[in-house]
């Protein structure tokens, strides 16, 4: 029996029943008692304090104010409808409250002459603040004299609220639940770990996280739960790494031979940066170790990852292995093919390109030469992982722009050889350290943190739409000097047709403003046929067109050194890492480059912060950190598919210190007890199985 009570279906909790249980499952994935127990409040209100409107600042994540409500009004029509009201406090200052749905219920909610408590996140527009979708409550003695100052707030949904399960409703359920299950909550951390780090027990922590007596006991409970959450992820990842390095051996690249040396002495046109040298050394060490290498190479756009990849492939060749390089799109694959072929010119190395549009006859030749080993380097797209592609002895796999590839796809590449090939994953989206430690916690990470010398920093400028004519003038001037220009529009899935219209309108106004002769304009977007897209792209690459109007399809990897101006339209709609990627398309040649961020005049505080960050720095890691702080790790570029980021309580942008403790502790434990067989660690394998038993071992191959 014991802890089985925690698995009791949620419908058997008093106050739930079958219908609410259905909703709880669907809306917030609460299936059993235990799920509710671990459904933590997402914040706490210190309801002991009311602010005056003039005291509100940008730094406040939320604020509690009180006052009278007037001017309740509906604006706009259909899709753009919103409701506003004015709250005036005892000082006579007012703030706008705003709602985008729920009008029917709200319309008659506010009673004139009644004072309300309003709670929400203030956002600044110009010099004024408003609060969107505030929580409101009439002032009453019970609302003001809260028993405890730290009041839990649970996230809920419209549907749950309609059934009485708003934050308060959920809090009531937790209150019912805890006395029933308290005695069955078993400790999930080894005693020694808890004692060393002075962490409170699980039972006490769970009680306190839901109903904190005071700020201090809340902080202790949170620290414990955060630690536990991060600790088990690290234990899981490090354990995977152990398993992999213990069970599978890798190619040993004993020698550095003529392929590498000839290239290094004859073909390398420049001195490697120290960062590049360091990474080559790291890879060299890995490939000598007898273990399969799994390394993530992070480096900002333009930091020179390709050369590093090529050198690693050459070492594989020197050791009688083949190598392949996989890119996410045809355009990128062909670009890689061309630049790698050029780099290796005169070395007598057979290189081929394989993509979806490779002809049948050519495919046959490729297949044969791969099997007999004449073909040394294969570059391509997803086509590389098809089963018909069989290597004689694949020793090194390089994956560029990794986030576009699924896990299963990479797994297929990995299995192409009896001895698994070494894998180097390259990403141009720098990710914050804490995110890397979590997402790639089982990989080794290399960083190129230095750009090749002589690069001129890209000048980044933020302009409002109203200055468009000036921007056009600037573009003309640059084109007159022989440069090329990108103009990028957002294309965001939900409103594709609308965005596509924006793009076409923009294209037309540019064609009008930049007439022939003298100006030819290309247009490229994701809805075009691949062949048309390639055609337009190629025209721009060859310099036959001066302006490229595009959506973010050009975001990844495209290299046109002569393009020195990047104009980003509606820049406020892009995330930071995307803006950074786009900017990385310029600044590749010898000329001064520019990135112009065009936005509307009304910007949210967050959008403003993004523009300021872009103008202020070109350091991809700084940008990535800021991005994570603004958006949270779960939403960052390409990280959405990973279950490892579904954190219930820890926050990767705030809890770096706890994460480091957790990783170290997990390392210590695995070092002393690699198979987790000691009595004192008995709880660990049990809990790992509960948490990750059904997990896809996705990171195993990357």
Site membership for ligand ADP, residue 328 (CB under 6 A): no
Per the CB < 8 A criterion, the answer to whether 623 and 577 are in contact is yes
- Complex with ligand ADP: residue 239 or 564, whichever CB lies closer: 564
Site membership for ligand ADP, residue 302 (CB under 6 A): yes
- Complex with ligand ADP: residue 301 or 623, whichever CB lies closer: 301
How near is the Cβ of 297 to ligand ADP at its closest, in Å? 9
166-174, 211-219, 301-309, 482-490 -> range binding ligand ADP (CB under 6 A): 301-309
Q: Distance between CA 222 and CA 65 in Å, rounded?
A: 27
DSSP category for residue 648 = S
Q: What is the DSSP string of 572-639?
A: GGS-HHHHHHHHTTSS-SSS--EEEEEE-S---HHHHHHHHHHHH---HHHHHHHHHHHH-GGGSTT-
Given 239, 294, 303, 570, the residue binding ligand ADP (CB under 6 A): 303
Task: Classify each residue of 163-183 as buried b or exposed e, where b means 16 or more C-beta atoms within 10 Å of its C-beta.
Answer: eebbbebbbebbeebbeebee
- Complex with ligand ADP: residue 30 or 553, whichever CB lies closer: 553
- What binding mask, one character per residue, do residues 253-272 give for ligand ADP by CB under 6 A, x or -? -----------------x-x
- Complex with ligand ADP: residue 276 or 551, whichever CB lies closer: 276
- Complex with ligand ADP: residue 302 or 395, whichever CB lies closer: 302
Site membership for ligand ADP, residue 620 (CB under 6 A): no
How near is the Cβ of 304 to ligand ADP at its closest, in Å? 3
How near is the Cβ of 380 to ligand ADP at its closest, in Å? 17
How near is the Cβ of 276 to ligand ADP at its closest, in Å? 6
How near is the Cβ of 624 to ligand ADP at its closest, in Å? 15
Site membership for ligand ADP, residue 12 (CB under 6 A): no
- Complex with ligand ADP: residue 490 or 620, whichever CB lies closer: 620
Q: Distance between CA 679 and CA 690 in Å, rounded?
A: 18
How near is the Cβ of 558 to ligand ADP at its closest, in Å? 10
- Complex with ligand ADP: residue 256 or 272, whichever CB lies closer: 272
Give the CA distances from residue 365 to residues 139, 389, 688, in Å, rounded to whole numbers and listed in that order: 80, 11, 48
- Complex with ligand ADP: residue 272 or 697, whichever CB lies closer: 272
5-13, 194-202, 259-267, 303-311 -> range binding ligand ADP (CB under 6 A): 303-311
- What binding mask, one character per residue, do residues 414-443 give for ligand ADP by CB under 6 A, x or -? --------------x---------------
Q: Which of residues 530-569 bind ligand ADP (CB under 6 A)?
A: none
Q: Distance between CA 609 and CA 579 in Å, rounded?
A: 13
Given 220, 305, 376, 483, the residue binding ligand ADP (CB under 6 A): 305
Site membership for ligand ADP, residue 452 (CB under 6 A): yes
How near is the Cβ of 406 to ligand ADP at its closest, in Å? 22
Query: Phi-psi region for residue 507, left (φ > 0), alpha (ψ -120 to 50) or beta?
Result: alpha
Distance from chain centroid for Cα 568 = 21
Q: Distance between CA 603 and CA 607 in Å, rounded?
A: 6
Give the CA distances from residue 311 to residues 264, 370, 396, in Å, rounded to whole numbers and listed in that order: 8, 20, 11
Burial level of 683, CB count in 10 A (0-12/13-18/19+)? middle
Query: CA 275, 324, 620: angle at the middle one, nearest 5?
Result: 35
Residues binding ligand ADP: number (CB under 6 A): 14
50-58, 198-206, 304-312, 498-506 -> range binding ligand ADP (CB under 6 A): 304-312
- Complex with ligand ADP: residue 299 or 420, whichever CB lies closer: 299
- Complex with ligand ADP: residue 428 or 662, whichever CB lies closer: 428
Per the CB < 8 A criterion, the answer to whether 524 and 553 are in contact is yes
- Complex with ligand ADP: residue 210 or 305, whichever CB lies closer: 305
- Complex with ligand ADP: residue 273 or 639, whichever CB lies closer: 273
Which tokens hold the place of 596?
């112009």
Query: 425 by DSSP, 3-state: which?
Result: strand
Per the CB < 8 A criterion, the answer to whether 291 and 255 are in contact is no
204-212, 239-247, 305-313, 526-534 -> range binding ligand ADP (CB under 6 A): 305-313
Given 67, 250, 304, 430, the residue binding ligand ADP (CB under 6 A): 304
Distance from chain centroid for Cα 309 = 24
How near is the Cβ of 439 to ligand ADP at its closest, in Å? 20
Given 95, 307, 353, 384, the residue binding ligand ADP (CB under 6 A): 307
Per the CB < 8 A criterion, the answer to whether 81 and 107 are in contact is no
- Complex with ligand ADP: residue 169 or 452, whichever CB lies closer: 452
Torsion of CA 345, 346, 350, 353, to 10 degrees: 20
Given 167, 205, 239, 273, the residue binding ligand ADP (CB under 6 A): 273
Per the CB < 8 A criterion, the answer to whether 494 and 602 are in contact is no
- The residue at minimum Cβ distance from ligand ADP is 304
Q: What is the DSSP string of 247-296?
A: H-B--------HHHHHIIIII--SPPPHHHHHHHHHHHHHHHSSBPPEEE
- Complex with ligand ADP: residue 300 or 655, whichever CB lies closer: 300
Query: 455 by DSSP, 3-state: which?
Result: coil
Residue-level length of the chain: 702
Any residues with CB less than 8 A from the CB of 261 and at least 6 apart, and which?
none
Q: Distance between CA 190 and CA 102 in Å, rounded?
A: 48
- Complex with ligand ADP: residue 217 or 276, whichever CB lies closer: 276
Distance from chain centroid for Cα 274 = 28
Site membership for ligand ADP, residue 298 (CB under 6 A): no
How near is the Cβ of 298 to ligand ADP at its closest, in Å? 10
Q: Residue 356 half-sphere exposure, CB side, CA atoms within 13 Å?
A: 10
Q: Distance between CA 24 and CA 163 in Å, rounded?
A: 10
- What binding mask, one character per residue, do residues 372-411 give for ligand ADP by CB under 6 A, x or -? ----------------------------------------
Query: 686 by DSSP, 3-state: which?
Result: helix
Site membership for ligand ADP, residue 301 (CB under 6 A): yes
- Complex with ligand ADP: residue 198 or 342, whichever CB lies closer: 342
How near is the Cβ of 447 to ligand ADP at its closest, in Å? 12
Q: Distance between CA 61 and CA 384 in Å, rounded?
A: 48
Give the CA distances from residue 41 to residues 44, 171, 700, in Å, rounded to whole numbers and listed in that order: 7, 9, 33
β-strand pairing of 351-354 with 322-326 = unpaired
Binding footprint of ligand ADP on the chain (CB under 6 A): 270, 272-273, 276, 299, 301-307, 428, 452
């Amino acid at each position: 029996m014991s802890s089985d009570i925690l698995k009791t279906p949620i419908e058997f909790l008093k106050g739930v029943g079958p219908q609410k249980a259905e909703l709880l499952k669907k809306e917030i994935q609460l299936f059993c008692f235990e799920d509710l127990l671990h459904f933590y409040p997402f914040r706490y209100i210190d309801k002991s304090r009311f602010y005056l409107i003039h005291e509100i600042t940008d730094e406040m994540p939320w604020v509690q104010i009180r006052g009278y409500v007037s001017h309740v009004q509906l604006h706009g029509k259909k899709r753009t409808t919103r409701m506003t009201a004015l709250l005036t406090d005892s000082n006579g200052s007012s703030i706008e409250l705003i709602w985008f749905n729920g009008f029917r219920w709200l319309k008659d909610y506010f009673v004139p002459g009644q004072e309300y408590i309003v709670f929400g996140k203030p956002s600044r527009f110009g010099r004024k603040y408003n609060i969107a979708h505030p929580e409101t409550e009439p002032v009453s003695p019970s609302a003001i004299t809260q028993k405890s100052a730290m009041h839990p707030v649970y996230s809920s949904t419209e549907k749950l609220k309609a059934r009485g399960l708003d934050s308060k409703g959920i809090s009531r359920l937790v209150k019912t639940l805890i006395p029933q299950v308290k005695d069955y909550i078993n400790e999930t951390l080894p005693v020694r770990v808890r004692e060393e780090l002075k962490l409170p027990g699980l039972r006490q922590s769970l009680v306190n996280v839901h109903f904190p007596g005071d700020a201090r006991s809340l902080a202790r409970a949170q620290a414990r739960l955060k630690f536990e959450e991060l600790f088990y992820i690290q234990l899981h990842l490090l354990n995977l790494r152990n398993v992999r390095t213990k069970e599978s051996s890798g190619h040993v690249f004993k020698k550095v031979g003529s392929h590498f040396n000839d290239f290094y002495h004859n073909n390398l046109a420049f001195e490697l940066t120290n960062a590049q040298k360091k990474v080559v050394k790291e890879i060299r060490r890995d490939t000598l170790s007898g273990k399969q290498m799994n390394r993530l190479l992070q480096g900002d756009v333009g930091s020179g990852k390709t050369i590093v990849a090529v050198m690693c492939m050459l070492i594989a060749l020197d050791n009688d292995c083949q190598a392949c390089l996989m890119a996410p799109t045809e355009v990128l694959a062909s670009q890689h093919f061309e630049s790698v072929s050029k780099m290796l010119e005169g070395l007598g190395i057979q290189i081929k390109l394989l993509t979806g549009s490779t002809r049948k006859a050519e495919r046959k030749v490729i297949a044969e030469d791969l099997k007999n080993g004449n073909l040394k380097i294969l570059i391509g797209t997803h086509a590389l992982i098809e089963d018909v592609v069989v290597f004689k002895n694949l020793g090194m796999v390089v994956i560029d722009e990794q986030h576009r590839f699924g896990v299963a796809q990479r797994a297929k590449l990995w299995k192409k050889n009896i001895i698994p090939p070494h894998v180097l994953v390259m990403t141009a989206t720098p990710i914050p350290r804490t995110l890397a430690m979590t997402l790639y916690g089982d990989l080794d990470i290399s960083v190129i943190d230095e750009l090749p010398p002589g690069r001129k920093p890209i000048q980044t400028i933020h302009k409002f739409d109203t200055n468009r004519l000036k921007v056009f003038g600037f573009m003309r001037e640059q084109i007159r000097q022989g440069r090329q220009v990108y103009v990028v529009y957002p294309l965001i899935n939900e409103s594709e047709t609308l965005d596509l219209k924006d793009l076409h309108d923009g294209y037309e106004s540019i064609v009008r403003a930049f007439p022939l002769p003298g100006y030819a304009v290309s247009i490229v977007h994701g809805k075009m046929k691949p062949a048309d897209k390639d055609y337009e792209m190629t025209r721009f690459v060859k310099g036959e067109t001066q302006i490229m109007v595009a959506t973010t399809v050009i975001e990844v990897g495209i290299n046109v050194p002569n393009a020195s101006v990047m104009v980003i339209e509606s820049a406020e709609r892009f995330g930071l890492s995307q803006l950074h990627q786009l900017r990385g398309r310029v600044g590749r040649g010898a000329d001064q480059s520019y990135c112009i961020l065009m936005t509307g005049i009304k910007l949210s505080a967050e959008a403003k912060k993004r523009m300021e960050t872009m103008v202020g720095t070109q350091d991809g890691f700084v940008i990535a950190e800021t991005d994570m702080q603004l958006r949270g790790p779960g939403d960052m570029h390409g990280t959405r598919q990973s279950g490892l980021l579904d954190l219930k309580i820890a926050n990767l942008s705030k809890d770096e210190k706890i994460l480091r403790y957790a990783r170290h502790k997990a390392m210590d434990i695995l070092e002393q007890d690699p198979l987790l067989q000691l009595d004192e660690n008995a709880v660990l394998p049990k809990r790992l199985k509960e948490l990750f038993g059904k997990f896809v071992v996705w990171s195993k191959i990357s």
